[in-house]
Amino acid sequence: MPRIVSVLLPMPLPEAFDYAEPEGMHLALGDIVAAPLGPRLLRGVVTGLRDGTGGNRPLKPIAERLDEPPLPPRTLEFVEWAARYAVDAPGQPLAMAIRGLRAPRPKPEKRLRATGRAPARPTPARTRVLEVAGEGLHAAAELARAAGVSSGVVKGLLDEGALEMLLVEPALPFAPPDVERPHPPLNPSQAAAADVLKAMIDDQGFSVALLDGVTGSGKTEVYLEAAARVLSRDPHAQVLVLLPEIALTQAVIDRFERRFGALPAEWHSGVAPPRRRVTWEAVASGEARIVVGARSALFLPFADLKLVIVDEEHDGSYKQEDGFIYQARDLAVARAKIESATIVLASATPSLESLWNAQNGRYRWLRLSDRHGDAELPEIALADLREHPPQAGEWLSPVLTAAMAETLERGEQCLLFLNRRGYAPLVLCQACGEKLKSPDTDSWLVEHRYTGRLVCHLTGFSMPKPDRCPHCTAKDSFVSIGPGVERVEEEARRKFPDARVAVFSSDTAPDAASARALIEAMAAGEIDILVATQAAAKGHNFPNLTLVGVVDADLGLRGGDLRAAERTYQLLAQVSGRAGRHERPGRAILQTWMPDHAVMQALKAGDRDGFVAIEMAEREAAGLPPFGRLAAVIVAGPDPAVVERFVQDLAAAAPNAAGVDVYGPADPPFSLVRGLRRKRFLVRADRNIDLQGFLGAWRARVKVPSSVRMVIDVDPYSFF
C-alpha cells in the first residue's frame, strides 16, 4: 500500500494536506516536494508519513521530490511551535523558513583555462597570458589585467583554441572560521562575563544569559568569545547573530571577520536573491557556520545551531507586524530551547521582560557597568524649553546651539537626534485649515523637501506637493508644521555655515551600502554635524563625537502606548551613549518641555535601576507585561457596517475566563488604512493563563465574513 504523506504548504491554511506517495519515491520528513493544489503545483514540506491502509478516499499523488535540502527536524518543530504561539496558520512561518528557495540559484560563471595548444602567432603578450593562466581557472578580465594586456589578446587566444571557456558553479563564499586568531585582551569585567558564557556553553544544553552592559562597555567582544568557544568545541556548530537594523549589519560582520578571519553569512532584505539562495543552502548543509542577519534569519534551516545572540535585544524592530506577526527576541529563546542551544540577549537598556526574567533567576544576569578602556559615560543635561525656548521658526534652543558652537570650535563632532523622517510631519492650508492626508487613510502626509514630495509613512503613498489646496483651491497656502530631520539639518546649516552637515535616516541611507558609507564618513571625521533618526542611535562608534543633542526628547512619550516610557528611556539612553566613547569626554543635551518627567530625571541622574523599579511597579499594579500577558485582535474590512456587525458578534462570543479581560471593540488612532475600516480588541491575561488557548477558542466561535480580515497579535508593540 502507498503511504499517506502530510504536506505543509506555505499558505495561510489551518493544517497540512494529505497526498499519496508515488511508488519508489521514498519520502522522508522535511523533504521539499511539489504538491498539486487545484490546477497549480506548489512547493511544500513533508511533515508526516503514515501507512495508507484503510484509506477511504482517493488522494492526489505527490508530483515530485525537489532537489533541495530538506528542512531539519528541529526547524520543522520550531515552525510549528511559532504558529501555535502566534495563533496563526503553520503555513505562515513555513513560508519564511523556505523563503530562500524562492530565489534563483547564481548563474554559472565563465572561466578560462589554458588548453596546452600553442597559438599560431606567439607574441610576448600572448606568452604572458598563457604563463599567468597556468593550470588554473580565470575570469577573462582578471587574466588580462594580471598579464598586463588588452582584452583583445585574451580573445584572440580563445579564438585560436589556446584558451577554452568553461561554465563553473560559483564557489561557496563561506570560509571556515579560524578560532585561534589573535584578538584584543578582555578587561576583568568582560573576562568574567565571558567565562560564565563559556561555562554555559560547555554544559551543552539550553540556557539563557542577559548581557547587560552600559554603552561602550564591550559587549560585542564578550559574545565573540562565546562564539569562539562554540566554534572550537564542535567543528559543525553554527552561530546566529540577530540585529535589529540593516545599518548595524556591516559593523558586526566586520567585527566577526577580524575575529575569525572569515566573512559570516549575511541574511536580510538587502541581500541579492541569488546570494540569499546560496546562503540558505549553506546554512542547511552546515557550510555557513556564522550567520549575521535581521529577524527573519531566525527561520533559516540550521543544521546544528548551538549559539544564538540577540544584539540590542530591547529594540522594537524585532517585532514583525505584517504577514506572520511575531517578536523575534521571544521566538529566538524558543528556537534556542528547541535546538538545546545557548542564547545571549545583549543590550545597554534591556527590555523590562528580560530584566524581569533575570531578576527572577530564569536568565543568567551578566552586568558590565563600566565603559571599556579610559572612556566614561557622557554627562546628560536637560534643556528646559519652558525657560530656554528656540527662536520662532527654529527648533534648536540657545542652550544646545551654544554647546554645538563650543564643540565645533574644539574640532569635535555633534549629533542632533530627532526620530522623525522628512522635513515636516504635517502640511496645513493656512486659508482653510485643511490637513493633507493619505488617500483612504487617516495618516497625515509628511513633507520631504529633498524630493519635493508628500509621503505617507504608514502606507508608502507619495505625491508631489501641490501648489493649490485641494479643498479650497487657495494658491501657495500650505505651511509646514513641526520639524523632521531635513528641517533640523536646514537650521544647522544656517547657524553653522562652515560646518559639514549630513542626514542619517532611512531616506538618505535606504540600504546597507549607503548606511555603511555614511557611518564610515562620520567615523573618519568627514562630517561635523550628523542629523539622525534612530538609525544612528545604537551600535555605532564615532571616535570624535562628543556632543549629542536630542531635539525633541518628549516625542516618544506622547500617545497611549504602555511601553512609551520604557521605549523613550531606552532610545535616549542609547543615542546619548554615542558621545564620548573614546578619550574625549562626551555630553548629551535633551531638549524637553517636561523636565520633571520620571524618564527625564532618570536619564539626567543616570539612574536606570530607579526608573526600572518605578516602571515595574506600575506594570505590576495594572497586570501588564511582564506581570501579565497582552494580545490584540484587529478586524478590518472595506464596509464599515459589516465590520461593526462582526466586531459586535465577536465581542458577544468572547469566552468567559477568570483572569482574562477583554477590552473593546474600539477605534484605533488610525481607524482607516488603505480604504479598510479597522477595529481593535485588547486582551489582558494573568501570566498563568493559556492566552493562545483562549484566543484560539474565541476565534473558533465565530465565522469571519469573506470581506473581513481578522488578525491576532500576541504581545502587541504598536497600537495604531
**Separation between Cα atoms, residue 270 and residue 256, nearest integer Å:** 19
Amino acid at 3: R
CB count, 10 Å around CB of 178? Answer: 12
pLDDT of residue 580: 83
**Separation between Cα atoms, residue 414 and residue 401, nearest integer Å:** 11
Between residues 377 and 53, the one the model is more confident about: 377
Enumerate the β-bridge partners of residue 556.
none
Cell of 360: 527572577
Residue 398 has pLDDT above 90, yes or no: yes
pLDDT of residue 529: 97
User: Where are the strands (E) in 514-604, listed by range?
Assistant: 529-532, 545-550, 587-592
Residue 698 has pLDDT above 80, yes or no: yes
* Model confidence band, residue 55 (pLDDT cutoffs 50, 70, 90): low
Average pLDDT over residues 285-295: 95
DSSP string, 525-558: T--SEEEE-GGGSSS---TTEEEEEES-TTGGG-
Between residues 506 and 238, the one the model is more confident about: 238
Report the predicted TM-score, pTM, of the whole model to 2 decimal places. Answer: 0.90
* Model confidence band, residue 173 (pLDDT cutoffs 50, 70, 90): confident
Are the C-beta atoms of 635 and 647 separated by less than 8 Å? Answer: yes
Please state the φ and ψ torsions of residue 64, each to the nearest 5 degrees: -165, 145
475 by Cβ neighbours in 10 Å (0-12 / 13-18 / 19+) ranks as exposed
* Model confidence band, residue 374 (pLDDT cutoffs 50, 70, 90): low
Cα 29–chain centre separation: 31
**Separation between Cα atoms, residue 570 and residue 675, nearest integer Å:** 35
Residue 134 has pLDDT above 90, yes or no: no
User: Where are the strands (E) in 124-206, listed by range?
Assistant: 163-168
Residue 583 has pLDDT above 80, yes or no: no
Residue owning grid cell 555655515? 497
Residue 169 has pLDDT above 90, yes or no: no
Average pLDDT over residues 194-222: 95
Cell of 406: 563650543
Average pLDDT over residues 119-144: 90
DSSP 466: P
Peptide bond before residue 90 is cis, with ω within 30 degrees of 0: no
Are the C-beta atoms of 234 and 176 separated by less than 8 Å? Answer: no
Residues 6+ apart with CB under 8 A from 662: 651, 654, 681, 682, 683
pLDDT of residue 270: 84
Q: What is the pLDDT of residues 586-623, one digit of tens each?
A: 999 999 999 999 999 999 999 999 999 999 999 999 99
Average pLDDT over residues 169-198: 90
Q: What is the pLDDT of residues 248-271, one digit of tens each?
A: 788 899 899 999 999 999 999 888
Q: What is the pLDDT of residues 87-123, one digit of tens each?
A: 999 999 999 999 999 888 888 889 999 998 999 889 9
Enumerate the β-bridge partners of residue 679.
635
Are the C-beta atoms of 215 and 362 separated by less than 8 Å? Answer: no
Using DSSP, state whether 630 is helix, strand or coil.
strand
Peptide bond before residue 626 is cis, with ω within 30 degrees of 0: yes
Query: Which pairing describes strands 163-168 and 109-114: parallel, antiparallel, or unpaired?
Result: antiparallel
**Separation between Cα atoms, residue 220 and residue 346, nearest integer Å:** 9
* Model confidence band, residue 220 (pLDDT cutoffs 50, 70, 90): very high
pLDDT of residue 376: 78
pLDDT of residue 54: 61
Q: Shortest CA distance to 311 belongs to which of 214, 243, 239, 225?
A: 243
**Separation between Cα atoms, residue 616 and residue 688, nearest integer Å:** 18
Least confident of 86-90, 506-510, 529-533: 506-510
**Could you tell me where the DSSP H helices lie in 187-327?**
188-202, 219-233, 249-260, 273-285
Residue owning grid cell 530564569? 362
**Could you tell me where the DSSP H helices lie in 269-397?**
273-285, 328-339, 352-359
pLDDT of residue 704: 95
**Separation between Cα atoms, residue 313 and residue 363, nearest integer Å:** 14
**Separation between Cα atoms, residue 6 and residue 4, nearest integer Å:** 7
**Separation between Cα atoms, residue 295 and residue 248, nearest integer Å:** 13
* Model confidence band, residue 720 (pLDDT cutoffs 50, 70, 90): confident
Average pLDDT over residues 214-241: 95
Q: Shortest CA distance to 183 belongs to which of 226, 230, 239?
A: 226
Average pLDDT over residues 426-451: 92
Residues 6+ apart with CB under 8 A from 409: none
**Separation between Cα atoms, residue 208 and residue 465, nearest integer Å:** 51
Are the C-beta atoms of 396 and 390 separated by less than 8 Å? Answer: yes
Are the C-beta atoms of 654 and 697 separated by less than 8 Å? Answer: no
**Separation between Cα atoms, residue 682 and residue 666, nearest integer Å:** 9
Query: CA angle, corner 69, sides to 63 and 72, nearest 5?
Result: 110
Residue 559 has pLDDT above 80, yes or no: no
- Give the Å distances, CA to CA, from 322 to 293, 458, 676: 19, 12, 15
Residue length of the chain: 720
Average pLDDT over the chain, rounded to whole? Answer: 93
Q: What is the pLDDT of residues 614-661, one digit of tens each?
A: 999 999 999 999 999 999 999 999 999 999 999 999 999 999 999 999
Are the C-beta atoms of 667 and 636 separated by less than 8 Å? Answer: no
Percentage, residues of the chain above pLDDT 90: 80
Residue 696 has pLDDT above 90, yes or no: yes
pLDDT of residue 479: 93
**Separation between Cα atoms, residue 601 and residue 616, nearest integer Å:** 17
Query: Which pairing describes strands 109-114 and 342-347: parallel, antiparallel, or unpaired?
Result: unpaired
The H or E element that residue 329 is part of is helix 328-339
Residue 41 has pLDDT above 90, yes or no: yes
pLDDT of residue 540: 77
How many Cα atoms are found within 13 Å in the side-chain-facing hemisphere of 62?
31
Query: Which pairing describes strands 238-242 and 290-293: parallel, antiparallel, or unpaired?
Result: parallel
**Separation between Cα atoms, residue 638 and residue 653, nearest integer Å:** 23
